[in-house]
Chains A and B, each alone.
Chain A
Amino acid sequence: MDVRTLATCAALGAVAACAGAAVPTPVPSESSHAAIARGRNLVRAGDCAACHTAEHGKPFAGGRAVPTPFGTIYSTNITPDDATGIGTWSADDFYRAMHEGIARDGHHLYPAFPYPWYTKVTRTDSDAIKAYLDTLAPVDEPPRENALPWPLTLRSGIAAWNAAFFHEGTYAYNAQKSAQWNEGAYLVEGLGHCGACHTPKNFAGAVKRRDALEGGYGENWYATSLANDVRDGIGAWTEQDIVDFLRRGANAHATAFGPMAEVVTHSTSHLTDTQLHAIAVYLKDSPPREASAASAPGRDVATHGAGLYLDDCAGCHMAQGEGLAGVFPALKGNGVVQANDAETLVHLILTGESAASTQANPNRFAMPAFDWKLSDQDIADVASYVRSAWGNSAAPVSAGTVKDVRAKVEHIVEQ
């Protein structure tokens, strides 16, 4: 059941009867083409392949290392292989994993599998996803052992985590909002699991639900705020800007890089126009946060930073931070540059990154690394400069912050 159907049901005042979660449906022995096609689209929306495919591995056969603050978890094989994949799983089994985070044999899945978001997926959509996965060629790829410290190896701990932080429940249609808004919300809060990176997390790695999409950590990057602040959010973006960003990987304000480049490449660039516009409508319908105070860097830092900027950055980002439309992102007014947390900016300067390459925007633009030539103080100064130049406003960055980020990202490179 898609959101449009949900909308119709809601309009008829018959949500309870329609909601798939409430009424288990018999699994058809042979899925329809329409269901498989819908499932393929939803698998893209959920970006399942990103985690369930190892580097140079077969798609959906698992084995990719998913770094978490607690250790490394390896994704599993979701091809229909009986022995090593989910070939023996029924649609009920699959739905339980999506909805409750529990595997076929009853063990709890780690929340690195984003069931806290996937729980919102309707039963019909879960069945469509399973129907599509069943069409894949089975791959014999046994799961890898996770690299977690005791006691996290004890799956029983997850039940306690779930009790504290997990909120099971299918997406609830908001009758106050349009069908388009609801479709966007369903994708963003459900399969899109945007909050897995873009929402801040607590000590236990669970998202802070009150601060949804206000910026958070994922895969050693700070994912910027998706709130409607002009300075460090998407306040200046139009609905079309959001659509362009998700389809092309770049718009007039920003270029996707790092994990978001992968999300665009493998997921959002394959969604329909209708879906992208729905996401944009939903994201634009949230208020800006409270602005946080920013102080400018000292004069010496600004001067040194400005010099470094001209030498190392201005060739692409241009002298006034204006960038080159469609090619190199502007730093003036850029949300990543002005994010409250500068970790992503520092990470980017240290390691460089590739932009997304999509059908609509096949370029393979990339920013080079500067870790080999700029010291912690240099990077702190140039970062502080771009955070305060051309009308930008964000707190200065310290050399200590750069040192910490450098230690983290060099650790990744060594891995």
Chain B
Amino acid sequence: MATRLPKVDCVLVGFGWTASILAHELTEAGLQVLALERGGFRDTVPDFSTTFIQDELRYAVRNGLFEEPERETLTFRNKTSETALPMRQLGSFRPASGAGGAGVHWNGQHWRFLPTDFLQRSHIEQRYGRKFIPDDMTIQDWGVTYEDLEPHFDAFEYLCGTSGRAGNLGGQKQDGGNPFEAARRRDYPNPPLKRGLAQVKFDEAAKAVGFHPFPCPASNTSRAYKNPLGVEMGACTYCGYCEWFGCGNFSKSSPQTTIFPVLIGKDGFEYRVRCEVTRVDLDASKTHATGVTYVDAQGREFEQPADLVILCAFPTHNVHLLLVSGIGKPYDPQANAGVTGRNYAYQITSSVDVFVDELVNPFMGAGALGQAVDDFNGDNFDHGPENFIGGGYLAAWTTGGRPILQSHVPDGTPTWGSGWKKAMADNYLKSLSIATHGSVMSYRDAYLDLDPTYRDVYGNPLLRLTFDYHDNEIRMSKFLTDKAEMIAKAMKPRAMHAKPRKAPYSIVPYQTTHNTGGAIMGTDPRTSVVNRYLQSWDVPNVFVMGASAFPQNAGYNPTGTVGALTYWAAEAIRKQYLAKPGPLMSKA
């Protein structure tokens, strides 16, 4: 029997980036806000202490900061004709657990999606015709435009102290920046990170083959920085331990380093850790949420009443909560009806390893230290002759030179023994990799629903993921990989080899934690779970944050866009919803 607790104005499910931003914004609006986090509380000291956090075995190999699949997981299959099985180890993606969420372990690769990304269907139809879109591809427009989000992209970059160089200031192209980016109101708050040799070589080679390289936007601070909340950050030391690690010297943007100092202890804010929300509670009408039910570390069940419920968990968990709570009609791929779980998407990556004669010194790295080209992202090039939709960036990242997982040896090297040792010694300091980071469109047969067989520790059905790469994505990724090989060849390497991505999608090897969709946004309640303000169509006092709102996935890391959408939704809640609680868009 759940214990009923005193009501709060707003309950946030999760305590990562989106919850931290909302907690700050909504407490500023005078609300009493409670964040419920399934993991523990974590802070820079002691949890990410420098010289302790740089432990590749503990954090990168043994998944120190992630959810435990023996406790919560999903089932997976490639096709509806298969029987899904539980994911018993983390593989292809790694959802975070604990305060700060994925904002703790991310690399800090901080991008804005392109204006055409937000108009995915209408733009393609306009430029290439309706028939260019395959029948089973269910892409759609977001319901927001780049122009709507620009102030919020800006707000999130200034919160984070993002380091980069503008390529387009108010419509004026800027030398040295990304010439394909959309207009931004002002430059990045900090200059780009210092480049390593990999970035210099990439820059030269990309220019030699006619592309337009630029420094990647990095939420690793290139210098000491004070953000608009008055919170200060240190300068990145290029220790090379960003991805899978928390930052020990306050220089990677995270809720801990940008918001917590002014949020924790603030009047009106409370967080509870090791509290797992199992259900959004609805009243008899099923159109109003009364709060949430959660279970704490002692296994006690609580009912937490709230006027406003905002889901801020990892995308797949947001969708799972909606499904088990009965919010939105579950998606049915046979009937192509229903919305919750629809349009799950992912990203497609590949790489080209390059072996050079100079010392690259990869151990001096940062999560978002990279040089990229955007010539083949979004609709920055003519897709007509290529006959696929989507794109991605190519980049030479130097995220680090960790000994276990981040070394490269030429093709044909033995996998053990003295031959392997010699190749490691010869190549560790003299190799780099060019990554491709591609979009994945949404399809009728890529979706999330509840598994008929397997259940979680609370007796709820597990989420079931049905997903495979489609021909469009495989061809697009090959196109990107070919371009990466062109750049690699221009470096005149002593050896190189491409690592293309092939179908079918496998959930075993790590690829990316950029899972999207399932609670997508839009302007039509028949094809979206939330409206353009991330508000549930069916239960207007429930909002759903995060990449679960993406109708399909673009060719960039998602965090910048997730942050912008959160500020966008926060503004709508503050200015519109709180004044008049109810639907912010009409269903008609």
Contacts and interface: CB of A to CB of B under 8 A. Distances in A.
Nearest to B49: A368
Interface in A361-408: 361-370, 372-373
Contacts of A364: 43-44, 260-261, 264
B260 A327 contact: no
24 contacts: A311-B51, A315-B249, A324-B234, A326-B226, A326-B232, A327-B234, A327-B235, A328-B249, A354-B45, A362-B231, A363-B231, A363-B250, A366-B45, A366-B46, A367-B45, A368-B46, A368-B49, A368-B51, A368-B52, A369-B49, A370-B51, A372-B52, A373-B51, A373-B52
A327 B52 contact: no
A366 B237 CA distance: 17
B383 to A, nearest CB: 46
Interface in A310-331: 311-312, 315-316, 324-328
Given A315-B237, A364-B261, A327 B232 contact: yes
B232 A368 contact: no
B248 A368 contact: yes
B45 to A, nearest CB: 4
A253 to B, nearest CB: 16
The size bracket of the interface on B is 20 to 34
A366 B262 CA distance: 15
Interface string B213-239: 000000000001010011111110101
The binding surface of chain A is classed by DSSP as loop
B511 interface: no
The size bracket of the interface on A is 20 to 34
B50 interface: yes
A373 B49 CA distance: 12
Given A362-B230, A364-B261, A315 B224 contact: no
A180 interface: no
Interface string B239-261: 10000000011100000000011
Given A352-B45, A354-B45, A357-B261, A363 B232 contact: yes
A370 B248 CA distance: 13
A315 B261 contact: no
Contact of B224 (A324, A361, A367, A372): A324
The 6 lowest CB-CB distance pairs between A and B, nearest first, are: A368-B49, A366-B45, A362-B261, A315-B237, A364-B261, A368-B45
Nearest to B43: A364
A352 B51 contact: no
Interface in B18-73: 43-46, 49-52
B224 A365 contact: no
A351 B248 CA distance: 16
Given A315-B239, A316-B234, A327-B234, A362 B262 contact: yes
B112 to A, nearest CB: 28
Contacts of A372: 52
Nearest to A325: B224
Nearest to A315: B237
Contacts of B224: 324-327
Contacts of A316: 50, 234, 249
Contacts of B237: 315
A212 B229 CA distance: 40
Given A324-B235, A366-B46, 19 more contacts: A312-B51, A315-B50, A316-B234, A316-B249, A326-B224, A326-B232, A327-B233, A328-B249, A357-B261, A362-B230, A362-B261, A363-B232, A363-B250, A365-B232, A366-B43, A368-B50, A369-B49, A370-B51, A373-B51
B144 to A, nearest CB: 32
Nearest to B236: A315
Contacts of A354: 45
Contacts of B230: 361-362
Contacts of A370: 51
Nearest to A311: B51
A408 to B, nearest CB: 20
Contacts of B239: 315
A30 to B, nearest CB: 29
Nearest to A359: B230
A365 B49 contact: no
A327 B161 CA distance: 15
Interface in B501-517: none
Contacts of A368: 45-46, 49-52, 248
A357 B265 CA distance: 11
Contacts of B45: 352, 354, 366-368
Residue of A312, A354, A364 most packed against chain B (CB within 10 A): A364
A361 B229 CA distance: 10
Contacts of B49: 352, 368-369
Residue of B45, B239, B249, B264 most packed against chain A (CB within 10 A): B45
A60 to B, nearest CB: 19
Contacts of A311: 51
Contacts of B43: 364, 366
Nearest to A353: B45
Given A327-B233, A352-B45, A365 B51 contact: no
Interface string A165-195: 0000000000000000000000000000000
A363 B261 contact: yes
Nearest to B237: A315
Residue of B44, B229, B234, B264 most packed against chain A (CB within 10 A): B234
Interface in A221-244: none
Contacts of A362: 229-231, 261-262
A196 B52 CA distance: 36
Nearest to B48: A368
A316 B233 CA distance: 11
A162 B260 CA distance: 47
A367 B237 CA distance: 16
B246 to A, nearest CB: 12
A328 B261 CA distance: 16
Nearest to B226: A326
B274 to A, nearest CB: 18
Nearest to A372: B52
A326 to B, nearest CB: 6
B365 to A, nearest CB: 14
Contacts of B51: 311-312, 368, 370, 373
Residue of A311, A312, A315 most packed against chain B (CB within 10 A): A315
A362 B44 CA distance: 15
A326 B223 CA distance: 12
A115 B233 CA distance: 41
A368 B51 CA distance: 9
A325 B46 CA distance: 23
Nearest to B263: A362
B159 to A, nearest CB: 14
Interface string B519-557: 000000000000000000000000000000000000000
Contacts of A324: 224, 234-235
A111 B404 CA distance: 59
Interface in A321-349: 324-328
Contacts of B46: 352, 366, 368-369
Contacts of B235: 324, 327
Nearest to A316: B249
Contacts of A366: 43-46
B416 to A, nearest CB: 31
A194 to B, nearest CB: 26
Contacts of B249: 315-316, 328
A365 B52 contact: no
B54 to A, nearest CB: 10
A83 B261 CA distance: 39
B85 to A, nearest CB: 41
B250 to A, nearest CB: 6
Nearest to A328: B234
A325 B234 CA distance: 9
A358 to B, nearest CB: 10
Nearest to A355: B45
Given A311-B51, A363-B231, A366-B44, A327 B250 contact: yes
A354 B44 CA distance: 11
Contacts of B264: 364
